[in-house]
């Protein structure tokens, strides 16, 4: 990652807004990190935020008085709120509670922080923080989408343990991740560019492991890099992302909820459960087609004099086909995207899989090409989707499919292109 000074954070005037969430304690560290990176920082707190952290703490960390009231006679003598609004290069609200998001989404200006947000032409960024049920509520999704349309850039939220005892999406990103997003905007969506805000995206990634005995298993060369890049891209575009991951050595992307599984059966169960309330399901995992009919209870030993070993394998369930089939017979959700790793006849196999498994879109990779595919940092793809599923114009194909070839490029860039293509194909959003 580039240093803050190299990416323009040094000298940036950041107005840090703090609303009434338990995550307000993280704002002290965030203010400290911003100052260390060379930014000028001024803090505005809502009345509720002061129940979680004191203005004196933030004043000590920033070296600037903390503003807490819209009707401060001393400040308002010089139109203090307008002065602050003009001073800021960036307004960063962290944490942004569900209440604050709702008020900003409807244009309310009933305290100093919301007034500044409406009165300023600065870059506007927020890090949501709330209970997982509140984040998943349709009203919050609508508010997030409207804020994105109004030019707000949403960072997170992350997933994990919450102060209330729940587990799920809603945690404010860690201060280090927020700073990284500010100094490296390629990690997140640009201002006003959160087309996936309010959507729930479920992605499978990595290999599965099918045990033969307590120490051996069947698996493949998948590193999980492509699936993790897709999860990061979807989160950067504002989606709530659930990542069902086989065993890999990759860190969970910021703002993504990860569910770790081992076998194809475990991934199948998790995929069916999470797909039920998803808007977009992407099957990127390299799932083992077969498993041992019966895994040995103890380590299988070599038998002297025998030159071979016979194992009986049985088919694993087809995860992506199951999700697509249950979608067709159920609620109509989600939009289903599959992956195909092939070594020959790429387009023919991709078209067959798209049709046979009743997918909406497929991303096909030629894993035989040197430097691409499994374990590599770069990849290329042929993307095919059903004509009529997309919202923009395309050159038609004679068999009812449209397609796009994506040249070799870093998996992070390829993932962003795939996510944007899938979003363009989604049915019209219900949000106003």
Binding residues for CTP: 283-285, 289, 299, 317-320, 339, 353, 357
Compute the 3-state secondary structure of the chain and give helix, strand, coil in percent, each to the nearest 5.
35, 25, 40
- Residue 30 · residue 59 · CB < 8 Å: no
Greatest extent of the chain over all pairs of C-alpha atoms, in Å: 96
- Which residue in the list 117, 164, 252, 425 is annotated as catalytic? 164
In angstroms, the CA 180 to CA 368 distance is 36
In angstroms, the CA 271 to CA 287 distance is 12
117 flagged as catalytic: no
Binding residues, as ranges, are 283-285, 289, 299, 317-320, 339, 353, 357
Residue 273, H or E segment: helix 264-275
Distance of CA 164 to the CA centre of its chain: 23
By CB neighbour count within 10 A (0-12 exposed, 13-18 middle, 19+ buried), where does 119 fall?
middle
- Residue 148 · residue 194 · CB < 8 Å: yes
Pair type for strands 290-292 and 361-366: unpaired
Helix (H, G, I), strand (E, B) or coil at 255: coil
Angle value at C-alpha 18, between 14 and 20, nearest 5 degrees? 170
- Residue 286 · residue 341 · CB < 8 Å: yes
Residues carrying an active site annotation: 164
């Amino acid at each position: 990652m580039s240093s803050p000074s190299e990416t323009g954070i040094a000298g940036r005037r950041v107005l840090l807004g703090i609303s009434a969430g338990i995550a307000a304690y993280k704002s002290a560290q965030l203010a400290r990190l911003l100052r260390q990176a060379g930014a000028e920082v001024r803090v505005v707190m809502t009345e509720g935020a002061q129940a979680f952290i004191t203005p004196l703490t933030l004043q000590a960390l920033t070296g600037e008085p903390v503003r807490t009231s819209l009707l401060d006679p001393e400040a308002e003598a010089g139109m203090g709120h307008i002065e602050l609004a003009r001073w800021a290069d960036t307004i960063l609200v962290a944490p942004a509670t569900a209440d604050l998001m709702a008020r900003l989404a409807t244009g309310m200006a009933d305290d100093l922080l919301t007034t500044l947000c409406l009165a300023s032409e600065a870059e506007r960024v927020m890090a949501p923080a709330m209970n997982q049920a509140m984040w998943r509520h349709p009203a919050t999704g609508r508010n997030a989408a409207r804020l994105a349309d109004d030019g707000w850039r949403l960072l997170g939220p992350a997933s994990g343990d919450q102060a209330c005892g729940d587990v799920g999406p809603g945690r404010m990103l860690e201060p280090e991740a927020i700073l990284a997003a500010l100094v490296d905007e390629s990690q997140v969506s640009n201002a006003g560019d959160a087309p996936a805000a309010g959507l729930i995206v479920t992605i499978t990634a990595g290999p599965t492991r099918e045990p033969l005995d307590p120490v051996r298993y069947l698996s493949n060369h998948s590193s999980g890099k492509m699936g993790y890049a897709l999860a990061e891209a979807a989160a950067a575009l504002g989606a709530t992302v659930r990542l069902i991951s086989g065993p890999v050595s990759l860190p969970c992307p910021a703002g993504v909820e990860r569910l770790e599984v081992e076998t194809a059966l475990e991934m199948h169960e998790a995929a069916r459960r999470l797909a039920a309330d998803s808007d977009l399901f992407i099957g990127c995992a390299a799932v083992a087609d077969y498993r041992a009919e019966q895994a040995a209870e103890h380590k299988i030993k070599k038998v002297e004099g025998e030159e071979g070993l016979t194992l009986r394998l049985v088919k694993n369930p087809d995860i992506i086909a199951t999700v697509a089939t249950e979608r067709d017979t159920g609620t109509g959700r989600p939009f289903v995207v599959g992956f195909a790793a092939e070594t020959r006849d790429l387009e023919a196999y991709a078209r067959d899989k798209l049709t046979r498994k009743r997918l909406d879109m497929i991303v096909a990779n030629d894993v035989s090409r040197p430097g691409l595919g499994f374990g590599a940092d770069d990849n290329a793809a042929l993307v095919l989707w059903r004509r009529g599923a997309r919202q923009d114009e395309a050159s038609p194909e004679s068999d009812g499919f449209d397609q796009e070839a994506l040249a070799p490029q870093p998996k992070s860039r390829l993932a962003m292109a795939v996510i944007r293509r899938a979003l363009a194909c989604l049915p019209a959003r219900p949000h106003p």
